[in-house]
Amino acid sequence: MFIMGPPGSGKSSTWKILAKAQDKAGKKTLLVDLDPKVVSTKDLYGYNLATKEWKDGLLSKIMRTLSETPDTNPKWIILDGDLDANWIESMNSVMDDNKILTLANNERIPLKPHMRMLYEIRDLRYATPATVSRAGILLLSDDKGYQWKAYIKSWVRNNFVDEKLRLDLMKLFERYIEETLYFVKKSCKFLIPVNAISMVISLCKALWPLL
């Protein structure tokens, strides 16, 4: 499953909430979150040493461990990182009907029925049709600013008791924040990438002494 959307759109919150819901339903969910971009492709899947001895990579080690675990509780592997043709193509055998990870030494590690692969990604820019056709896609869009509005509602609800003050604050946010975010996005440059949520947090901190 591809969970796709811009930073701050709620991708991580989606699978975390679902996992907690399964926990309360009696299905203890084991989560393993990793970034496939932090290591090279060979360190992700495994490679042969100079002695011709096989060494498991980060992903193959995790899949082997979860596959050999005797219980059948849900086990999720979350690959949190942008798609890259160097590593995603090797996942095609896992995403098709075989559900088997084939390693360079011809060893095969099955993705058992209680195991799931979740890909938390920004877009499908570098994905081939063969990859896209093998997965379901959950798109979380932040185009209309819903996520930052949800953050503000939560912040106001948790920090203020007076109902009239809550309503007044929400009116101020609705009047000024959207135009401010639009101006910042169109007219300002950042040294590091900034998403709408982080900008809202900064604006809240800046406005707080004035309230």
For position 190, what pLDDT does the model report? 66
pLDDT beyond 80 at 142: no
For position 144, what pLDDT does the model report? 61
Which amino acid appears at position 117 of this protein?
M
- Angle among Cα 43, 46, 48 to the nearest 5 degrees reads 115
pLDDT beyond 60 at 44: yes
Write out the two tokens for 179: 């135009």
For position 183, what pLDDT does the model report? 81
pLDDT beyond 60 at 9: yes
Q: Within 10 Å of residue 142's Cβ, how many Cβ atoms?
A: 17
Of 58, 19, 16, nearest to 35 (Cα)? 58
Ranking 46-50, 62-66, 129-133, 178-182 by mean pLDDT, the lowest is 178-182
For position 77, what pLDDT does the model report? 93
Question: Whole-angstrom Cα distance, residue 127 to residue 172?
Answer: 42
Write out the two tokens for 39: 């290591």
Q: What percent of the chain has pLDDT over 90?
A: 16
For position 205, what pLDDT does the model report? 61
Handedness of CA 139, 140, 143, 144 (dihedral sign): positive
Higher pLDDT, 200 or 37: 37
Q: How confident is the model at residue 147 (pLDDT cuts 50, 70, 90)?
A: low
Question: Whole-angstrom Cα distance, residue 184 to residue 13?
Answer: 26
Q: How much is the mean pLDDT over the chain?
A: 83
Domains and CATH numbers, the chain: 2-139 (3.40.50.300), 146-210 (no CATH)
pLDDT beyond 60 at 140: yes
> What are the tens digits of pLDDT across the range 17-40?
999 999 998 889 999 999 888 888
Question: Whole-angstrom Cα distance, residue 169 to residue 165?
Answer: 6
Which amino acid appears at position 174 of this protein?
E
